[in-house]
Chains A and B, each alone.
Chain A
Amino acid sequence: MSPYEDLIIDHWRNPRNKGTLPDPDADVTEANVPCGDVVRLQLKVRDGVVEDVRFDGRGCAISMASASLLTEMIKGRGLEELESMKPEEVVEALGGVIKPRLNCALLPYRALRKALDALRGEGSGANPPRRS
């Protein structure tokens, strides 16, 4: 296993869903302080489903590729389903990650957990859940 599979290089060079949403339902930021990696994740939710998603941030190729890939993995999926999503799913989708870099790979996943907490009204960093 190369730590930089073509998939990672591709997402690093051509990030998907990068940018910001005008009116997100969840807007969270998660960081790996020692390495300076930061991921901001925004979700737009309708009827319990992730309708749109954007990420932004800076960091290593693995964390940025993982964020890009994660946005593709969660778009169109239900919040309930995402609640039970395991970190292994992300690692597998990336084609495996060497141990010293697991923390980088899972930074966006931690941002997702934070966003889900925020949408349930727990934790901070999100706009309050809106009634529709």
Chain B
Amino acid sequence: MRDIRSDFPVLSRKVNGKDLIYLDSGATSQKPLQVIEAVAHFYREANANVHRGLYSLSVEATELYEDARRAVAGLIGADPQEVIFTRGTTESLNLLAYSLGEARVGRGDEILATVMEHHANLVPWQELARRKGARLIAAGITPEGELDLDDLKRKLSPRTKIVAVTHVSNVLGTVNPIPEIAELAHRVGAVLVVDAAQSVPHMPVRVGELGCDFLAFSGHKMLGPTGIGVLWGRRELLEEMPPFLTGGEMIREVWIDRATWNDLPYKFEAGTPPIAQAVGLKAAVDYLRELGLEEICRHEGGLVARALEGLLSRDYVEIYGPRDPSKRSGLIAFNLKGIHPHDVATLLDEEGIAIRAGHHCAQPLHRELGISASCRVSFYLYNTEDEVDAFLMALDRVWGVLGR
């Protein structure tokens, strides 16, 4: 991969007097100049509201906003009309829990999730189940940290209306077999919702190949700005669903006591959308596609294999998730025996190394693993093998200070 680090200004800064080593892209990615400039350029040159101005500036802003939709649709192999801009994965999933839940879920029905879900793909379904008198159940994991497909099969039934599964676990790094799950879900007449927050930024994802019905992801984890996310859905399902948020932009005709809805995708985009963020997201998509998602995936695969080997060779480290690097995406959760992850993160921060420590918004999974928290390193296209080595050596120093 070409030298891209100079595209990311923040990577050249110092933290606590040391070169920043950013290993928390799973939480949010850094932004290349191309994205930063696209957002700044929009505000400098083209800022106006979209879909309503009759003047040239608004027409231009609208075109930029819709260009972004087409870029995102192109990235995941979708029809732009089926691409809805939201505030992020969390909002995309809440939209579904309300609108799809309203259309599809009733008393006694079941929603099937997994124990490895991020709270964003769990709590909205809990609330839906509570509102509707439905039941939320979860498929388990194998001792290897992979989804237990047999358990998932056992828990599917004609009562299952929605299956909600993450594409890539944000803790285990496990890549779930979505096409297979889609077939199983569809066999019982359920709709498959996929949380792709940790996959779309890191690997080629085509909705046609996945076979799912909905796909949710965030802009900020894929080099784009915060405040924008995506919900892709099958047209016939989106048509059937009532709107989530109501107000301006999403309506066609309004009377004092009633209103009719706009066409897709606008029916689900109430209020002024994140316009500058969409422009930034397009620049991010262009950047990723220019490098190639296959190439990015290969690069991260090399880093994760190196890190995994280093971690597994240290007997004071315990790792979670598959030990085979070919079964995981570019992140690893681990613990140092007897040491709280917060201590590890604070000591690494002293050396300029940024990692995540905590429950990573996946408390049920941590409970399943029998731990209260973990450390997590997550890699992206700008990380290097030298950074992986520096991290591993710093870990030895942390163990030297606090290990006992």
Contact = CB atoms under 8 A, between A and B. Distances in A.
Contacts of A2: 350
A63 B138 CA distance: 34
Nearest to B403: A13
B401 to A, nearest CB: 6
Given A35-B372, A60-B340, A3 B402 contact: no
A55 interface: no
A37 interface: yes
Nearest to A104: B342
A93 interface: no
Interface residues of B, number: 14
Contact of A61 (B340, B350, B358): B340
A3 B340 contact: no
A73 interface: no
Given A35-B342, A60-B342, A61-B340, A4 B373 contact: no
Contact of A35 (B339, B350, B373, B401): B373
A35 B360 CA distance: 11
A100 B373 CA distance: 16
B346 A9 contact: no
A62 interface: yes
Given A35-B340, A35-B373, A36-B373, A9 B350 contact: no
B347 interface: yes
A19 to B, nearest CB: 17
A61 B343 contact: yes
A125 B346 CA distance: 32
Contact of A62 (B343, B359, B372, B401): B343
Contacts of A37: 340
Interface in B327-385: 339-340, 342-343, 346-347, 350, 358-359, 372-373
Interface of A: 2-4, 9, 12-13, 34-37, 59-62, 98, 100-101, 104
Given A4-B343, A62-B343, 17 more contacts: A3-B346, A3-B350, A4-B347, A4-B401, A4-B402, A9-B401, A35-B342, A35-B373, A36-B373, A60-B340, A60-B342, A60-B343, A61-B339, A61-B343, A61-B402, A62-B342, A104-B342
8 contacts: A4-B343, A4-B401, A12-B402, A12-B404, A34-B358, A35-B358, A61-B343, A101-B346
Closest 8 CB pairs of A and B: A36-B372, A60-B340, A60-B342, A61-B343, A60-B343, A3-B346, A61-B402, A36-B373
